[in-house]
Amino acid sequence: MTFNAPDSRSDSLHLLTSTKLLARNTMLNLVGQIVPLLAAVIAIPLLIDGIGTERFGLLSISWMLLGYFSLFDLGLGRVMTKTVGEKLGSSHHADIPSITWTGLLFMLILGFIAMTLVLFLAPILVHRVLNIPADLLNEAGTGFLILALCIPIVTVSTGLRGLLEAYQKFGLVNIIRTLNGILLFTAPLLLLPRTDRLPWYIGALVTVRVLIFIAYAVFCFISIPALHNSRINLSLIRPMFKLGGWMSVSNIIGPFMVYFDRFLIGAWISVTAVTFYVTPYEVVTKMLLITAAVVRVLFPAFSASCHSQPDRAAMLYSRGLKALMFMSFPICLIFITLAEPGLRVWLGEEFAAQGTAVARWLALGCFLNAPAQVAFTFIQASGRPDITAKLHLLEMPIYVAGLWLLMQHFGLAGAAIAWTGRIALETLLLLLFAERIHQRKNKNQQIYVTLLLFTGGALLLTVSGSLLWKSFAFIFILVLFLIVFWFKIMNAQERTQIQHFIKHK
């Protein structure tokens, strides 16, 4: 009997981190992000036409706020995913109820504190910060007050979702996420024949989030029997907040650096220039949907294996790097090669002239962001979110200074170069720290050298040249990348698995 427990833990860990399961969950994540995007493409023009640009602008701010309300959990949702994942990896299931209920209780408390704060600040936001037409002030004020009421629901939903992800229940998570994404855009459509008053539309969004909360709660209780045993352990609060606090630093500074460039463009160049920058940005950065789908699956897998089986965690880390490089690089080359003709056909000569360099540099940044996010996830799952937070604190002043200097000399292209330069610096530092955390026999030098060489190849395509020249260069670089990847980056086992997969399709 003394030998059964280790075997049981090993089997449990293998099930939670199996390549087949992770690949399946990654595909589910992609579907969960793409389907709501299609719903948005259909719903947004109808809503703009039905309620007008001013009300739609306020509604879009409401959508954004609903997403950012999850930050009020101070990282506890991600902490729950990590901590529960560790307990599952080591088969210490008895600790899971106390971790879960303690985390949910304090997320609820944080939600009510944030709700009180937002209720106090909402009138200031409406009357002093946002430039809202006078005839919409009352509607906006009422709408934002309604919106604030759902903050506790959003924060607790984040914890419930994190719990399901720790158990690798991505099928359930993505069913709920897909429904959430679709309903947030389609529920307001149901109101178009009846009213154009903004509070009703924001009320529809809040109703959707209540239903999503109920769905998360029901699925958690059905699929995770351990939750039926409710326990509160106040001694867990200090370590959970310590981890969550550092994660929150990254969660706040990361989006700030992502969106700060457009505010500076509007202030230093013009509001019109923001359109020329944001339009290619929104298209090119859809590459990041692939990255997000992969790393969201890797986080609970890393959490379950980093401490109990570090060799397996290192293997998953290497495979994550390989998978995202393989998927991201061809897309990066396509965006760089076709940026100019694509923008010209889609939006005209002016957009092609203003946005081509922006699209090319951002595509390169998105490619570099893929391995960075694997390393970021690996470091946080290893229990060192302080590293990623400190790196973000270090990056922010460097990025702002670089953004200012490059925009002075290169305009919109300078903003894109600064964005990609920040990603390059972040990638380098994250990869270095990820290697230092787990020094195993599983070496990744070939991956890093390949990343550097083909970043240089993609960089060559950003220079001006005819479409014919770029097409030949594109084909040459892509074929060379595929050859190097197959024979140098992938090992024999991975090649055999792919060949087996192709034969049985």
The domain limits of the chain are 1-232, 250-505
The average confidence (pLDDT) of the chain is 79
Q: What is the pLDDT of residue 6?
A: 41
Give me the amino acid identity at 414.
G
CB contact burial 407-445 (16+ within 10 A = b; e otherwise): beeebbbbbbbbbbbbbbbbbebbbebbbebbeeeeebe
Q: Answer yes or no: is pLDDT of 300 > 80.
A: no
Q: Give the rounded percent of residues in the chain with a pLDDT score beyond 90.
A: 10
Gap between the Cα atoms of 403 and 424, Å rounded: 14
Greater confidence (213 vs 124) lies with: 213
Greater confidence (380 vs 365) lies with: 365
Q: What is the DSSP string of 347-375?
A: H-HHHHHHHHHHHHHHHHHHHHHHHHHHH
Q: Answer yes or no: is pLDDT of 386 > 50.
A: yes
Spell out the alpha helix ranges (H) of 411-503. 412-437, 445-461, 467-484, 492-503
3-state helix, strand, coil in the chain (%, to 5): 90, 0, 10
Gap between the Cα atoms of 340 and 336, Å rounded: 8
CB 88 within 8 A of CB 166: yes
Gap between the Cα atoms of 382 and 434, Å rounded: 9
Q: Can you give the length of the chain in residues? A: 505
At residue 5 the predicted structure's pLDDT band, cuts being 50, 70 and 90, is very low
CB 102 within 8 A of CB 132: no
Gap between the Cα atoms of 92 and 110, Å rounded: 28
Joined together, the tokens standing for residue 163 give: 């719990």
For residues 132-149, give the mean pLDDT.
Answer: 83
Q: What is the pLDDT of residue 361?
A: 92
Residue 454 CB contacts under 8 Å (≥ 6 apart), including other chains: 329, 477, 481, 484
At residue 283 the predicted structure's pLDDT band, cuts being 50, 70 and 90, is confident
Q: What is the pLDDT of residue 375?
A: 92
The listed range with the strongest mean pLDDT (13-27, 119-133, 474-488) is 474-488
Gap between the Cα atoms of 484 and 382, Å rounded: 31
The predicted-structure confidence for 59-103, as pLDDT tens digits, reads as follows 777 776 777 677 776 677 777 777 777 777 666 677 778 888 888
Gap between the Cα atoms of 447 and 370, Å rounded: 13
Greater confidence (217 vs 171) lies with: 217
CB 85 within 8 A of CB 220: no
Q: Answer yes or no: is pLDDT of 211 > 90.
A: yes
Residue 362 CB contacts under 8 Å (≥ 6 apart), including other chains: 280, 281, 284, 285, 416, 419, 420
For residues 33-37, give the mean pLDDT.
Answer: 72
The listed range with the strongest mean pLDDT (7-21, 179-193, 272-286, 301-315) is 179-193
Gap between the Cα atoms of 360 and 362, Å rounded: 6
For residues 224-233, give the mean pLDDT.
Answer: 73
- Which segment of 76-85, 289-298, 419-428 scores lowest on mean pLDDT? 76-85
